[in-house]
């Protein structure tokens, strides 16, 4: 076992898989220089410039060329640098990658991993901070991975690279420096299995990505007051672990979903609706969401802080659910 930062965990996972499988290659801006986040440091030295391809700033072709290589049997890691730039490659992602297996009646399995570091990070403002993972949960044909720990990033990235499905891998920018302990030989973590962070009967809290450590801290603060909750890190929002969440809500009758993305039509709405459908509206004492207001991410620290979730805000929301 070794203690590493979250981004280093992702580097080790990708390196392990590139050593294991010569079909895996990585393309994206600056990846031969190690990538914007150092997530491909030393790759070009080991694997060469043909498999570690620094590209022009041509997002549509980064995305589409990754797909094209998959159609002849390669397994690309398509690096988008920052999620927001994926907007320049939406045709290739939404109309091509997500549809190609279906449209062609199963002739093609586009085994691509698209890495999209997302979320607020150091006052990067409206075009470098978005969390739009919900859009892709809405999109048939893809897996949506939203991890929050070094261990999960490593195991889920291994799983993603080995998967025959297109996997949209949302690296949590704000947590890149957070340490965790990973194995020397990283094992894959299956998609759709939540990680239970804490256990209790008082309420069910569901979260993912950058909101998880805040919810974890909040749960600890409540535990110190003797209030114990079931806290789940979904890890993947499509597929998502409906069984674990529904079983917990049947026990607690109180549900809170915490996510950094905008609340309106966010994935929390889907979770609340599914849970109500499963347990019946009368079985719930509370079903709430704590998420962002429907505004872009502002630049100024004073304004960004207004939007950021904090453990205190989560505790307050949890108390609201407990009091209902």
Among the listed ranges 54-62, 221-229, 242-250, 267-275, the one in contact with other proteins (CB under 8 A) is 54-62
- Binding other proteins (rule: CB under 8 A), the pick from 238, 249, 297, 304 is 238
Under rule CB under 8 A, how many of the chain's residues touch other proteins? 48
Does 142 contact other proteins by CB under 8 A? Answer: yes
Helix and strand numbers, DSSP H then E, in the chain: 12, 14
DSSP lists the bridge partners of residue 24 as 75
- Binding other proteins (rule: CB under 8 A), the pick from 166, 200, 213, 266 is 166
128 noted as active-site residue: yes
Does 192 contact other proteins by CB under 8 A? Answer: yes
- Binding other proteins (rule: CB under 8 A), the pick from 107, 225, 226, 293 is 107
- Asked whether the beta carbons of 267 and 134 are under 8 A apart, the reply is yes
Residue 140 Cβ vs other proteins, minimum distance, rounded to whole Å: 6
- Binding other proteins (rule: CB under 8 A), the pick from 34, 38, 141, 188 is 141
Q: What is the widest separation between alpha-carbon atoms in the chain?
A: 60
Does 115 contact other proteins by CB under 8 A? Answer: no
Could you give the CA distance from residue 133 to residue 128 in angstroms, rounded to a whole number?
14
The H-or-E segment that residue 232 falls in is strand 230-233
Which burial class, exposed, middle or buried, applies to 76 when counting CB atoms under 10 A from its CB (0-12, 13-18, 19+)? buried
Does 85 contact other proteins by CB under 8 A? Answer: no
CA distances from 320 to 17, 268, 269 (A): 45, 17, 18
Residue from 248, 234, 230, 236 nearest 284 by CA: 248
Residue from 6, 324, 21, 278 nearest 161 by CA: 21
Could you give the CA distance from residue 119 to residue 261 in angstroms, rounded to a whole number?
8
Does 17 contact other proteins by CB under 8 A? Answer: no
Q: Which is nearer to other proteins, 108 or 221 (CB)?
A: 108
Q: Which is nearer to other proteins, 124 or 242 (CB)?
A: 242
Q: Give the active site residues.
A: 128
Using CB under 8 A, list all residues that contact other proteins.
Answer: 25, 50-51, 53, 55-56, 58, 60-61, 63-74, 76, 91-92, 95-96, 100-109, 140-143, 163-166, 191-192, 238-239
């Amino acid at each position: 076992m070794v203690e590493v930062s979250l981004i280093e965990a992702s580097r080790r996972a990708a390196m392990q898989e590139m050593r294991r499988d010569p079909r895996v290659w990585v393309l994206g801006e600056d990846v031969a220089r190690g990538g914007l986040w150092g997530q491909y440091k030393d790759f070009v030295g080991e694997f060469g410039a043909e498999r570690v391809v620094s590209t022009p700033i041509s997002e549509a072709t980064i995305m589409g060329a990754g797909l094209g290589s998959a159609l002849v049997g390669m397994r690309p890691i398509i690096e988008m640098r920052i999620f927001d730039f994926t907007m320049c490659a939406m045709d290739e992602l939404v109309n091509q990658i997500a549809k190609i297996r279906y449209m062609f009646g199963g002739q093609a399995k586009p085994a691509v991993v698209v890495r999209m570091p997302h979320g607020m990070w150091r006052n990067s403002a409206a075009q470098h901070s978005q969390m739009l993972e919900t859009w892709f949960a809405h999109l048939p044909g893809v897996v949506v991975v939203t991890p929050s720990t070094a261990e999960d990033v490593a195991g889920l990235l291994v799983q993603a690279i080995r998967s025959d499905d297109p996997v949209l891998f949302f690296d949590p920018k704000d947590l890149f420096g957070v340490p965790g302990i990973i194995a020397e030989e990283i094992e894959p973590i299956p998609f759709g299995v939540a990680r239970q962070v804490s256990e209790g009967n008082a309420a069910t809290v569901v979260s993912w990505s950058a909101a998880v450590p805040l919810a974890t801290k909040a749960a600890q603060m409540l535990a110190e007051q003797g209030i114990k909750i079931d806290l789940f890190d979904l890890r993947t929002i499509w597929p998502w672990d409906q069984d674990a969440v529904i079983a917990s809500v049947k026990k607690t009758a109180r549900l809170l979903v915490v996510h950094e993305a905008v609340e309106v039509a966010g994935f929390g709405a889907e979770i609340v609706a599914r849970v109500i459908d499963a347990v019946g509206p009368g079985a719930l004492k509370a079903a709430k969401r704590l998420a962002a207001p429907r505004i872009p991410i502002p630049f100024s620290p004073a304004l960004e802080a207004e939007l950021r979730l904090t453990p205190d805000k989560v505790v307050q929301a949890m108390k609201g659910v407990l009091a209902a």
